[in-house]
Amino acid sequence: MKGRETMWKDAIEMREAIASGEVSPKELVQETLEKIEQRNPSLNAVVHLQAERALEEAGSRSFEGLPFGGVPLLLKDLGQNQAGEPSSAGSKLLKGIPVNRTDNFVKRLEAAGFIIVGRTNTPEFGFKNMTEPQLWGTANNPYDLNRNAGGSSGGAASAVAGGIVPIAGASDGGGSIRIPASFTGLIGLKPSRGRIPVGPGSYRGWQGASVNFAMTKTVRDTRELLKWMQVEQKDSPFLTPLIKDWDALPNRPLRVGVIEKSPIESVVAPEAKEALRKAVAFLEGVGCVVEPIGWPVDGVEVMKNYYVMNSVETAAMFQGMEASFGRKFTKDDMELMTWGIYQSGERILAKDYSAALSKWDTYAHAMEKVHEQYDLIVTPSVSDVAPLHTQFPMEESVRYALEHMDELSVPEQQSVIWRMFDRTLALTPFTQLSNITGAPAISLPVHLTEKGLPIGVQLMAARGQEALLLTVAEWFEREGQFETRDFS
């Protein structure tokens, strides 16, 4: 067996070692638990352990022939329920309460042979692109513990980049896989809407904006996992045809559109531009036809419609939770930011929500027209490196407005939400559009700054074209274009 201080390359290497008899699933689970004990005090990536259950499964279950048979896995502590285990969603309301059924996504992971050993840190209900819930505290970035791992899959990113596990469950409702992937030097794929199992609790996941998948270290892990997880789920409101040809490329050079400019006109830092420059130079070098283009939609309008959705879906979520708890929630039950979003959702009219969602369809149409001309769109993943933990304190005027959110009009409420997120949105403006359109996108770790901090580029493709994204990602990986550190 490999030494405890040696990082495995990826989950497939673990699976191969199990199949060859080099190591047993139980040994791998024990090794993972030891790494959590050693590393989690500094990372704060893991917030729940199920050691006894994982060890029992590792010693009693047959993993023969399974694509990830015997590989330890961490789930995100949000929307990835496993019967008998708690899922806090970063909220004190749900802390320690076991769920009574397993989500279809998690069932599929179990069927792949993964052994679930615990759950990772996430902001309360996944609302922030930084992982710093009051319940569990900040998820620290392995590259610099004074910096955030991003969100909302920040704990997953910290655990994978920090060498605890080679792969971890994650989800992406506005960039929550790609943002932490960029901040921690990982591969972060957001699959197409309808690609990954949903339900049986929530089938629509922020009206299809939110998709479950994983944080990974290698493209082959990403590809193998997507091959296994893809479904045509008949009870889902969103269906995407299965990928059947995983190596298909057009019989011509790929056409690539490059966008450096922020869709909301915010500042893009030199390091993000340098990451983009490296990616563009590589793509040109392998024969792609590359040219600059502009955003085909109004980024500010996109985000305003996104926040309307977020508000209404939050109010609907709390309506169900209040029925389950048998009481009305108060401001003291949740973080102030969450309270503000909830109160805003309570006031938005159904006709206005319908109008906002209709806009999503126009954005999807606009992007599909762009993809008729360009196979790929390449942008920065984020506008800068991972932020310091102290970088974005809440402004007192915003705090006061949130305290009195129920007294404001709907336009005033939405203005407060914009102000609440404006600085973090300026850091992460590139990711939300693909959530709204349902198209796939991937962040690749192509650059380390002089201070050794990672920053990625985002590749976007037409809906259903994950195979193209992964093929191009393999070009980058095979030719040594990934710049990361190995945290043993």
Q: DSSP secondary structure string, 33-94?
A: HHHHHHHHHHH--EEEE-HHHHHHHHHH---TT-TTTT-EEEEESSS---TTSB--TT-TTT
Contact 23, 32 (CB under 8 A): no
Name the nearest CA neighbour of 127 among 188, 94, 78, 71.
78
Name the nearest CA neighbour of 334 among 253, 387, 405.
405
**Which residue among the candidates 87, 152, 210, 443 is catalytic per the annotation?**
152
Q: Give phi and psi for 261, each to the nearest 5.
A: -75, 140
Q: Could you tell me which CATH class the domain 11-249+442-478 is placed in? A: alpha beta
What CA–CA distance (Å, rounded) separates 58 from 85? Answer: 17
Other CB atoms within 10 Å distance of the CB of residue 319: 13
pLDDT at position 77 is 98
What CA–CA distance (Å, rounded) separates 344 from 308? Answer: 8
Name the nearest CA neighbour of 197 among 226, 220, 175.
226
Q: How buried is 486 (Cβ within 10 angstroms: 0-12 exposed, 13-18 middle, 19+ buried)?
A: exposed
What CA–CA distance (Å, rounded) separates 171 from 189? Answer: 10
What CA–CA distance (Å, rounded) separates 256 from 249? Answer: 13
The pTM (predicted TM-score) of the whole model is 0.97
What CA–CA distance (Å, rounded) separates 286 from 191? Answer: 25
What CA–CA distance (Å, rounded) separates 472 from 359? Answer: 31
Other CB atoms within 10 Å distance of the CB of residue 249: 13
pLDDT at position 29 is 98
Angle between helices 299-325 and 410-427 in degrees, nearest 10: 110
Q: Which amino acid is at 165?
A: V
369 is catalytic: no
**Which residue among the candidates 87, 158, 171, 176 is catalytic per the annotation?**
176
β-pairing, 167-172 vs 211-216, is: antiparallel
What CA–CA distance (Å, rounded) separates 218 from 62? Answer: 26
Question: Running DSSP on this structure, what letter comes out for residue 267?
Answer: -
SS3 432: helix
**Residue 464 bridge partners (DSSP):** none
152 is catalytic: yes
Question: Running DSSP on this structure, what letter comes out for residue 130?
Answer: S
From residue 212, give the alpha-carbon distance in Å to each of 80, 215, 227, 358.
8, 10, 14, 24
176 is catalytic: yes
pLDDT at position 382 is 98
Tokens of 89: 């969603």
SS3 324: helix
Question: Running DSSP on this structure, what letter comes out for residue 98?
Answer: B
**Which residue among the candidates 35, 76, 217, 359 is catalytic per the annotation?**
76
Residues 6+ away with beta carbon under 8 Å from 390 = none
Q: Which residue has the tokens 């502009």?
A: 294
β-pairing, 289-292 vs 115-120, is: unpaired
What CA–CA distance (Å, rounded) separates 133 from 123? Answer: 5
For CA atoms 138, 139, 141, 144, the dihedral sign is positive
What CA–CA distance (Å, rounded) separates 315 from 19? Answer: 48
Q: Where are the domains of the chain?
A: 11-249+442-478
pLDDT at position 6 is 54
Contact 77, 98 (CB under 8 A): no
Q: Which residues of the chain carry a pLDDT beneath 50?
A: 2-5
